[in-house]
A and B are shown apart, each in its own frame.
Chain A
């Protein structure tokens, strides 16, 4: 079974600064995808960024980028130029793509609560 660990329950960052959220995962699979979801106070789960395990290049979406270290099974999220609207819970998630039970399911970490301070 896959596990996802987010070791930082809470973090804070000054507006306009950069913050990095950590995520590690454990799997024996070789083909998988990794995701970061954002959950603002509205409760909506919003996909922020995804990474394909077979790609060495780190994914980037505007102010959001990841540092994917496959050998270390690490997948951190960097938020640049933090904005007040970035205040939310952030969840790291894993999806394996083997055939069989459990495949294509999203397994989530416990989340990191990020507060952006004006």
Chain B
């Protein structure tokens, strides 16, 4: 298996622009997680899905952030409009729900820079 695939690996955008981050979970996994990593706050859970349904989005910082999972093999995290404080590494992770206690498999992350 190719693992969790995220794209793009790097993204540089101007303040006010829309940014879309993409994630393809491991085939067969039915739990998907979006995390944000910053120096100040570390790794924070933004949202997670079970069977394509958002279960907990309490970590989404504000209305500028939205996440979707239209099918079992694809998820997006969108920021509109983007701000410099959104600069961070965004990770996607997936798991088989019944195997969550064994930990998640993470993608390589997208480094977002908003200038």
Contacts and interface: CB of A to CB of B under 8 A. Distances in A.
Interface of A: 33, 35, 37, 42-45, 47, 50, 52, 91, 95, 97, 101-102, 104-111
Interface string B29-50: 0010100000000110100100
Contacts of A108: 42-43
A4 to B, nearest CB: 9
A98 to B, nearest CB: 12
B103 A102 contact: no
Name, among B58, B100, B103, the residue most crowded by chain A CB atoms within 10 Å (CB to CB).
Answer: B103
Contact of A111 (B31, B42, B97, B106): B42
Nearest to B58: A101
Nearest to A91: B43
Interface in B18-32: 31
B: contact size bracket: 20 to 34
Contact of A105 (B56, B91, B102, B106): B56
Contacts of B45: 105-107
Given A45-B106, A105-B56, A95 B42 contact: no
Contacts of B102: 50
A34 to B, nearest CB: 10
